[in-house]
Amino acid sequence: MNFIDEKFNKIITEFEVLPVHELRSKMILFYKSLPINIKMSLENFLKNYNFWGELEEKLGNFDIFDKKASIFKEKREDFIWLYENLKDFKSKAVLTEVLNNYYNFDFAGLNNVADKIYKHYFDLDLVPYCKDEVLIDVGAYTGDTVLDYFSSYGKDSYRLIYCYEITASMVEYMEKTFSSYDNIAIKNFAVADKNGYLYLDKNNTSSSANRAKNEGEVRVRATSLDSDIKERVSMIKMDIEGGEYSALLGAKRHIQEDLPKLFLSVYHSNDDLIRIPRLIADISNDYDFYLRYYGGNIYATEIVLICLPKRK
């Protein structure tokens, strides 16, 4: 056993032996001991990006710790399953430090596993070369991921690129950005498990956090990838503010038949880190799993699950 295994086992053992209320109490105790500037920063962040729960110390509102403690207890075996199925120790270290951050408010460990070498999503140790790719960017925002892809692999490394984005102003921005490029299709669609309509839920802090919901004022056409794209695809990236699970259900045929490389955000809910890898494993047993971290050191976000077809 190495030091990463030991650290993971220590955390996961506490999830086993401590009841939910003690896990919650421990997190609250650690949180109260933090410097005031960090607590204010974290509370403001959670207020602006309401994915995980509420946190307001002055009001005695520790809702996020209730949710985290329940997930730690209920999904303990799933965390062990994921750890055992990650293919390198960098991935195991990422999972360990994400849990360590959520549970023990360890900032140093999270900073240590953050990728500071490669572009977001595109780890050259895992995917060193790309050629003739059919890339689907779900949650394309400003086209920043496509530009990072070009920076990593070159502008001649793709055959087709599809960019899906629900915010009309971002679609217009991308149309200008990629006006001189061939074979880039920009689509103002939400991606889900079926065709129909969803509604744009605007985030007041950043349009990067806009998401699709079942009700609202601005209607957006929704499509599944299986129905919208007929040709084989080789790479899918998803970052759609909690809609990834539904979108993956709508890409089941492509995943099973094409085995595209998958780059998936797994942090937009308290259990995405578990349920999305489980979903991919249920859809196909032909993938190897990796985790990479691209976020800051206060609260773990920007966690990416990379699923690569197993070498035959």
pTM of the entire predicted model: 0.96
Do residues 122 and 146 make contact, with C-beta atoms less than 8 angstroms apart?
no
Distance (Å, rounded) from C-alpha 187 to C-alpha 240? Answer: 14
Once rounded to an integer, what is the mean pLDDT over residues 65-82? 98
Q: How confident is the model at residue 311 (pLDDT cuts 50, 70, 90)?
A: confident
Domains and CATH numbers, the chain: 3-113 (no CATH), 133-265 (3.40.50.150)
Q: How confident is the model at residue 312 (pLDDT cuts 50, 70, 90)?
A: low
**pLDDT one-digit tens code per residue, 145-176:** 999 999 999 999 999 999 999 999 999 999 99
**pLDDT one-digit tens code per residue, 116-140:** 999 999 999 999 999 999 999 999 9
Lowest mean pLDDT across 35-44, 83-92, 193-202, 287-296: 193-202
Local structure of 97: helix, strand or coil? helix
pLDDT of 35 strictly over 70: yes
- pLDDT value at residue 203: 86
- pLDDT value at residue 83: 98
* Burial class of residue 51, CB neighbours in 10 A (0-12, 13-18, 19+): middle
pLDDT of 12 strictly over 80: yes
Lowest mean pLDDT across 9-23, 196-210, 240-254: 196-210
Q: What is the token pair recorded at 221?
A: 């056409």
- pLDDT value at residue 218: 87
Handedness of CA 127, 268, 24, 20 (dihedral sign): negative
